[in-house]
Structure 1
Amino acid sequence: MKFPHFVCWSLLLAVGTSSAQPMTFDNAWQQLLTVSDKLQAESQEVLRAQAEQKAGEDLGLPSVDIKGSYTHLEKPIELDLRDLNPLASLGSESLPPALGGALASIPSSMFVTPFTEQDIFRASLQAMWPIYTGGKITAAQGIHAALVAEKEQQFQLVIRDLFNLLVDRYYAVSVTETLMQTQLQLVASLTKHADHALKLEEQGQIAKVERLNAQVALENARVSAGSAKRQHEMAMIALSRMLHQQSIIPSSQLFMLQNQPSLPRLSQLTMTQHPALKLLEAKEDQATGLIDVEKGRYQPSVFLYGNYTLYEDDSLFSQVEPDWMVGLGVKVPLLSREGRSGKVEAAKSALLQARYTKAQTQQDLSLLLDQSYRQLLQAQEEVLALDTSLTLAEENLRLREIAFNQGLSTSIDRVDAELKLSAVKTQQLGAKYRYIQSYARLMAISGQLDDFIGRTNQL
């Protein structure tokens, strides 16, 4: 027994989805938050910024180091007493004979005092504690905090982008499935019509061209049904890959609101809560902190320092040198090759750039909000207007069917009525999909993701 094409496709589709489990949009969203690699990558950016912020908290703490050294001298440092005044100015001839003879009898090595060895080993514990740095440490810590805020807002932007993408892919499965079923119904209807036309041709009630027209329409419908089937398969694959699942059957259906959201309220929420604006505010804070850092390079630095000797050789110099020392140091910058004034101007330019970018982003968000809202209204109007067109197309098909069976209408009229009905269904389905997309964008822009999810749970 040979099954019609649309029956075979339906059987294959049923086999392919037999192991799939129904999944609501809420469950799909929770699954995406868990398995999204992009989201995990962005979360690591946040963690990295937080780790850098934590590291910056130690900038004001003292540093303690163990320092060791080995030094090889050309020769040991020694002191010859005969080189010191007044002995150096006295010659043996100027001394009394008894004293000069006594000095001459003393070995020269007795006058030499070694201070160090030729190889010197040292180890010490050194500490430094900044007391005042001209505000550079405080500014650097503020930059780290602003960087954390920036990465957190970037994370929120990624969440909203993923939300819109999930809405597109999740409901695309339902839309393409309905479109496929519409095309399969068209194939089934045109198959019956072609069979009927063949019988009428055999009975001599219609011309051959009428039967050929029905056959051509059927073949075209089969091609369209095949295309719709592949679109549905690609939508299923895209959603499954996104959620890291083998196969998924969306259970949340397309919907429309009875009362549309308030545009002024959406605008207020967007301008006060949108992550892109908060991200740019964090960049402003970073630029302000950078200005403070560069200005701090003009200020003096005050610090405490100390040193404790852990190991030293047994030389006279080591015995003279104290084992430990502490002190207060001051460093005043006078001339620098770092271009401090240019860096200050560059930091000010970064601040102005962030402010101008924020102003432009506010305009872009306002425009995007207005466009999405009007697209929502346009899609709603199309859906409602096509209800009447759908009723008309169904009635027209019914009448054309009766007229064709009675020989009062041609096959072309019958096929055109069938195609018009399919076109109206497809057009209305597309309008409902655009409505969902526009509503999701509005909720994502204004930060009301939970409101959209709540609507899907009410169905």
Structure 2
Amino acid sequence: MRLLALALCVLLPLPVIATELSFDAAWTQLQQVSDKLKAQQQQLERANAQQESGNDLSLPSINIAGSYTYLEKPIELDLRDLNPLASLNPGSLPPAIGGAIASIPSSLFVTPFTQQDVFRASLQALWPIYTGGQVSAAQGILAAQVAEEQQAQLLASRELFTQLVDRYYGAIVTKAVLNTQEQLVVALTEHVSHAKALEQQGQIAAVERLNAEVALDNAKVATASARRQVQMASIALDRMLKLSVTPSSPLFILPQDPSLPRLMELTMTQHPALKLLAAKEQQAKGLEDMEKGKYYPNVFLYGNYSLYEDDSLMSQVEPDWMVGVGVKIPLVSRDGRSGKVAAAKSAILQARYTQAQTREDLSLLLDQTYRQMEQAREEYQSLATTESLAKENLRLRELAFNQGLSTSLERVDAQLGLTSVMTKRLAARYRYIQAYAHLMSISGQLDEFIARARVLEETNAN
């Protein structure tokens, strides 16, 4: 038996010990392990690298060019094809002179300029000094793309923040609901016990005891469902943080709600979505400048230095190096410049209209979320009186039932009523935290939410 126990200890996995984690620590953990944030960071790194590559657009390009050419025949010059020899009529010359010229071998009149195999190698440089603003426009587009990715990263971070709030405090709420259901099961178990005793004494009918047992069975089913909700909430939080955790921060209701005008001001001046659209507008403007720049001339410096050449006469005649200034003026092109300029202007207007619509949407979202937070607070506070009434009603119904003055159904209804009120108050606190976190996320005040949660946790610990 001892060997079997040891074998089971080796084969069975050790239970995972959950780590107590405050919301502050959970947010830090999520920022470190989130694959979504890591992917967004790599997107930003790529944009930064592309921006750095854009700095090279204004630099000269230098390259080594080499070539091998095989000619049909070497390039040669026959002096007899040049004046004055070409214009001479041999018959008109004196016989002595004509005979002397005829005695000269024809190969002596031929001068080879190149060989049949031509090898060349040179160092070439090209430096654009004026491109009609195309280089600066391209660099501006790359800088705007970096700004866009920065704002996209902030949006992803805020979205993760609200998801963490939902899962972190959702795990707390589901556990609190489970505790409430377990208390209900305990209370109804005790009630069933009392009902059985009173039935044996003949003070109540069997139907009263059956009502109590049915209510207990239903409560056990609800408790099992609540337990599964706790498990699912814990799994969702653990998977998100990639760590088995137990939330330690309490649910809360703020003593005073934040100022809506202040939230509106922060949102309209700092929201990443608005800045992202502004970056898109800058990209569209840069694209328009690039297309307009194609109408202007391009001015460039160029140079060439021969690194290797053969021993032909052509190579001796050609200079070893050359530099110069070039101008390229576009007259007629087939790349549709005018259409591209019009498309860029449409993209600018689209970004502006989208920005205006986003402002309206954010303003409406703030108003709706703020009122949801206020409604959750009011519901939580109003249910406090209802909870006190439910507790008093349960106490009176229990006394009356024990004295045979009330039915089991009334006693059970009172118990269920108290449980329902307690659950509703928990749900109201959860909705309040969700709305408050959403407001802080929209206005960019994540640190304020974390600071308040930390203070409340310290107050609760003391």
Q: Secondary structure at the match of 2:425?
A: helix
Cα contact 1:300–1:333 (8 A) shared by 2: yes
With 73-82 and 161-170 compared, the bigger mean Cα shift is at: 73-82
Aligned match of 1:384? 381
Q: Secondary structure at the match of 1:338?
A: coil
**What corresponds to 2:106 in structure 1?**
108
The 2-side partners of 1:44 and 1:401 are apart by: 64
- The superposition leaves residues 341-363 of structure 1 with CA deviations (integer Å, 9 ceiling, x where unpaired) of 11111000000000000000000
Q: Report what 1:227 is aligned to.
A: 225
Shift of the alpha carbon at 1:17? 8.5
Match of 1:29 among 7, 27, 30: 27
The partner residue of 2:393 within 385, 390, 396 is 396
One of 436, 441, 451 as aligned partner of 2:438: 441
1:17–1:249 contact (8 Å) kept in structure 2 = no
1:18 Cα shift?
Answer: 7.4
Specify which of 312, 316, 319 is matched with residue 322 of structure 1.
319
Query: What secondary structure, in the 3-state scheme, does the structure 1 residue paired with 2:72 have?
Result: coil
Q: Which moved more, 1:125-134 or 1:75-84?
A: 75-84
Aligned to 1:427: 424
Q: Which moved more, 1:213-222 or 1:345-354?
A: 213-222
**Distance (Å, rounded) in 1 between the aligned partners of 2:74 and 2:425:** 99
Aligned-pair distance for 1:288? 1.2
- Aligned equivalents of 1:254, 1:450: Cα separation in 2: 17
Q: Name the counterpart of 2:353.
A: 356
**SS of equivalent residue, structure 1 residue 314:** coil
Matching residue's letter, 1:48: R
2:250 aligns with 253
Aligned to 1:91: 89
Q: Secondary structure at the match of 2:169?
A: helix
1:170 to 164, 168, 171: 168
Q: 1:368 aligns with which of 358, 365, 371?
A: 365
Distance 1:379 1:124 in 2: 78
Give the aligned partner of residue 207 of structure 1.
Answer: 205
Amino acid at match of 1:76: P
Q: For 1:232-243, what aligned pairs fall within 5 Å after superposition? A: 232-243=230-241
Cα RMSD (Å): 1.4
- 2 CA distance for matches of 1:42 and 1:131? 37
How far 1:130 sits from its partner (Å)?
A: 0.7
* C-alpha distance in 1 between matches for 2:65 and 2:86: 40
Query: C-alpha displacement at 1:211, in angstroms?
Result: 1.6
Which whole-Å CA distance do the structure 1 matches of 2:93 and 2:222 have between them? 128
Relative distance call for 1:17 and 1:212 in structure 2 (3 A) is farther
Q: 1:146 to 1:322 in 2, by over 3 A?
A: same
Using the TM superposition, give the Cα deviation of residue 170 of structure 1 relative to its aligned residue in structure 2, in angstroms. 0.5
CA distance in 2, matches of 1:232, 1:216: 24
From 312, 326, 348, the equivalent of 2:309 is 312
Matched, 1:217 2:230: no
Map of 1:9 onto structure 2: none
Q: 2:5 — aligned with what? A: none
Q: Secondary structure at the match of 1:325?
A: strand
Name the TM-score, length of structure 1 as normaliser: 0.95
Residue number in structure 2 paired with 1:125: 123
2:294 maps to 1:297: yes
- Deviation string, structure 1 residues 58-95 (Cα, Å, up to 9, x no partner): 11111101001111111111111112222123233222
1 CA distance for matches of 2:39 and 2:403? Answer: 68
Unaligned runs of 5+ in 2: 1-13, 457-462
Q: Return the alpha-carbon distance in structure 2 between the equivalents of residues 25 and 341 of structure 1.
A: 56
Q: Distance in 1 between matches of 2:238 and 2:362?
A: 31
What amino acid sits opposite 1:180 in the alignment?
A: L
- Cα distance in 1 for partners of 2:368, 2:341 equals 41
SS of the residue corresponding to residue 124 of structure 2 reads: strand
Pairs within 5 Å for 1:405-420: 405-420=402-417
2:460 matched residue in structure 1:
none
**CA distance in structure 1 between the partners assigned to 2:87 and 2:288 by the alignment:** 64
User: 1:422-457 CA distances to partner (integer Å, 9 max, x unpaired)?
Assistant: 100111100000000011011111111111001011
Q: Deviations over 1:109-168 (max 9, x none)?
A: 111111111111110000011111111111111111111111101111111111101100
Q: Secondary structure at the match of 2:128?
A: strand
**2:75 match:** 77
For the residue of structure 2 that corresponds to 1:378, the secondary structure is helix
Segment drifting more, 92-101 vs 304-313 = 92-101
Q: Decide whether the 8 Å contact of 1:404 with 1:411 is kept in 2.
A: yes
Partner in structure 2 of residue 187 of structure 1 = 185
1:265 aligned residue: 262
CA contact (8 A) 1:135 1:293 kept: yes
Letter in 2 for 1:388: T
Change (3 A) 1:395 1:413: same
Which residue does 1:13 correspond to in 2? Answer: none
Corresponding residue number in structure 1 for 2:8: none
- Alpha-carbon distance change, 22 to 428 in structure 1, aligned in 2, over 3 angstroms: same
Alpha-carbon distance between aligned partners in 2 of 1:38 and 1:325, rounded to the nearest angstrom = 55
Displacement, 1:200?
2.5
Partner of 1:144: 142
- How many angstroms apart in 2 are the aligned matches of 1:154 and 1:52? 17
Q: Displacement, 1:31? A: 0.7
**1:1-29 CA-partner distances (Å, limit 9, x unpaired):** xxxxxxxxxxxxxxx99721211100011
For 1:278-293, list aligned pairs within 5 A. Answer: 278-293=275-290
Distance in 2 between residues matched to 1:367 and 1:169, nearest whole Å: 25
Secondary structure at the residue paired with 2:334? coil
- Deviation of 1:54 after TM superposition, in Å, equals 0.8
CA contact (8 A) 1:147 1:286 kept: yes
User: Which one-letter code corresponds to 1:165 in the other structure?
Assistant: Q
Q: 1:322 is matched by which residue type in structure 2?
A: P
State how far apart, in whole Å, the 1-side matches of 2:93 and 2:179 are. Answer: 129
Query: What is the number of residues matched between the two proteins?
Result: 444
2:265 partner letter: Q
Q: Which range moves more in the overlay, 82-91 or 168-177?
A: 82-91
